[in-house]
Amino acid sequence: MPGRRPFEHRAVACLSAALALLVSAGILPAAGQGRVEKSFRAIPNCRIHISNPTGGAIVVRGWDKAEVHAVCVTNSPKVEVDSEPTPANAEAERLDFATHVLNPQATLQERMVSYELDVPRDSNLVISSPEGSISVENISGDDWINSVKAAISVTDGAGLIQVRSLNGDINLVRPSGHIEATSIMGNLTITGSHSQKINAQTESGKITFDGDFLPIGDYLLKTYAGDINVICPSSDSFSLDAQSLRGKMDNQFKLRRKSHVPYSRLGGSSSFGTNGPGEASVTVKSYSGAIHMRPRP
């Protein structure tokens, strides 16, 4: 700008950079965006529902306070977030967050809303969002998460974890609760597992399991066309029933064969026997994918 001094140039540049940083960090909303920040006192094991039918990023973290702190950013004034505690004038037993489109002419981008919540660790979550991303961390209550194509990540979940993303990948890190994870096209990855019950199924995605098979645990890993990779300590005690009708079987465990093999396990590639005393029940099935089972080095 003609006539402006170098000092002023530097000040404008610094201010612009600071604003950009604040926007990108989500502290300030970008042009057209709206930001809503709210806090609610909550009872133990409160239920939190997030319904975000227009999609966007959702992050929920467990903390030790008996309080829910929510930051919601709307992409435009054409969409809004309702937050409703029940009961209305006391510690919340249930909290509902919902996205509503105010203007039907809003574009897909303008409809998006992101949620960032800190909630009591023992909260029970119900999250529904068709797309975007969903991340849940450090929750000991139950999680029910449903999506069409969002990538879902649950870290250190200790309660019942029911997750479904039809086309998105599901990533479960250090889970210790019961797991029900299903997808059609997405990959399922379970790492550092200490869960006693897992039911993981996808049709064309891959399944990767890296964790422990606990005694009296019950595990089902099943795909139609995707490969299945299983890694666990060689000392784990489990009874294995693995079968792929058209895929390859690569089992590096030295199983003790059972006295009889069921007739239904005779077709395709199969591996049937016990590792150690065979306490956990492990079923691994694929129709046309390969199955790899390796002891952890």
Partner 1 sequence: MLQQGGNGAAQRAAAACRSFDAQLSDYLEGADRPEVTTHAADCEFCGAFLADLLLARSACGELPEAALVEEPPARIWANVRATLVAEGLIHPPGRQRAWLEWLLTPAPAAALTAVILLSLFAARSLVHEHRQAVKDVAELVVGRDVIANVSQMEAAFRAQSARLNPTIERAYEEDLASLDGEIKECKDTLARQPEDDLSREYLASAYTQKARVLESALELGDSDAR
Which residues of the chain form contacts with partner 1 (CB under 8 A)? 53, 55, 108, 130-131, 146, 148-149, 166-167, 184-185, 201, 203-204, 224-225, 243, 245, 264, 267-268, 285, 287
C-beta closer to partner 1: residue 259 or 264:
264
* In the complex, least distance from residue 275 CB atom to partner 1, rounded to whole angstroms: 23
C-beta closer to partner 1: residue 71 or 225:
225
* In the complex, least distance from residue 214 CB atom to partner 1, rounded to whole angstroms: 26
* In the complex, least distance from residue 28 CB atom to partner 1, rounded to whole angstroms: 28
* In the complex, least distance from residue 111 CB atom to partner 1, rounded to whole angstroms: 9
Handedness of CA 8, 14, 16, 22 (dihedral sign): negative
C-beta closer to partner 1: residue 17 or 108:
108
Q: 237-272 in b/e burial notation, b at 16+ Cβ within 10 A?
A: bbbbbbbbeebebebebebeeeeeeeeeeeeebbbb
C-beta closer to partner 1: residue 159 or 168:
168
C-beta closer to partner 1: residue 15 or 108:
108
C-beta closer to partner 1: residue 97 or 214:
97
* In the complex, least distance from residue 284 CB atom to partner 1, rounded to whole angstroms: 13
* In the complex, least distance from residue 184 CB atom to partner 1, rounded to whole angstroms: 4
C-beta closer to partner 1: residue 114 or 155:
114
* In the complex, least distance from residue 273 CB atom to partner 1, rounded to whole angstroms: 19
